[in-house]
């Protein structure tokens, strides 16, 4: 039985391609899967390894780029304020 290999790209490489930090991409993923995402914006689910590292497929890069284009300034404000308070 032949298995299909899925080419995955680590979040660090995705961030380099898109020009955003890895932490920004991780925060977008958290926001998109929270109750604060009232617009229903889609963010692709990452593939995680046994250590919890995030990987994306090649086709997900354009989906992440589209996610950024559909967000507007201040949309994640409430989420970021709550998240930063928890970290302090």
| Residue 69 three-state SS | helix
pLDDT above 60 for 1 = no
Query: pTM score, two decimals?
Result: 0.81
pLDDT digits over 41-88, tens only? 999 999 999 998 999 999 999 999 999 999 888 888 888 888 766 655
Give the chain's domains with CATH numbers: 8-81 (1.10.1660.10)
| b/e sequence 30-68, b meaning 16+ C-beta within 10 Å | ebbeeebbeeeeebbebeeeeeeebbbeeebbeebeebe
Mean pLDDT value of segment 15-27: 93
Rounded to the nearest 5°, which phi and psi values hold at 86? -65, -30
Residue 85, classified by CB atoms within 10 Å of its CB into exposed (0-12), middle (13-18) or buried (19+), is exposed
């Amino acid at each position: 039985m032949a298995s299909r290999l899925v080419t995955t790209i680590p979040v660090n490489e995705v961030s380099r391609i898109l020009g955003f930090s890895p932490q920004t991409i991780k925060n977008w993923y958290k926001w998109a899967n929270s109750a604060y995402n009232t617009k229903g914006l889609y963010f692709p689910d990452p593939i995680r390894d046994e250590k919890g590292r995030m990987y994306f497929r090649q086709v997900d890069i354009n989906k992440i780029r589209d996610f950024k284009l559909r967000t507007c300034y201040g949309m994640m404000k409430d989420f970021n304020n709550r998240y930063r308070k928890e970290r302090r």
